[in-house]
């Protein structure tokens, strides 16, 4: 997945996907949040993007 470097975000304009992200709430344990944060930092993306990638890679 490419990064947003050099791409200025604009409201209601999708960058990576064919649709704009919406705000949702997810409740996680502190351990899971820490693991997601670490993975996001390693890949240089947001936790939101990590969740997006994980779900999009899942079949079904």
pLDDT bracket for residue 1 (50, 70, 90): very low
Query: And the tokens for 9?
Result: 């975000």
Query: And the tokens for 30?
Result: 């502190």
How crowded is the C-beta side of 6, counted as CA atoms within 13 Å?
2
pLDDT in tens, 3-60: 555 655 566 676 666 788 788 999 999 999 999 999 999 999 999 999 999 998 997 6
- pTM over 0.75, yes/no: no
């Amino acid at each position: 997945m490419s990064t947003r470097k050099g791409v200025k975000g604009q409201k209601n304009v999708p960058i990576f996907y064919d649709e704009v992200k919406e705000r949702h709430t997810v409740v996680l344990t502190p351990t899971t949040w820490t693991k997601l944060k670490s993975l996001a930092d390693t890949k240089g993306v947001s936790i939101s993007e990590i969740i997006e990638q994980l779900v999009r890679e899942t079949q079904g």
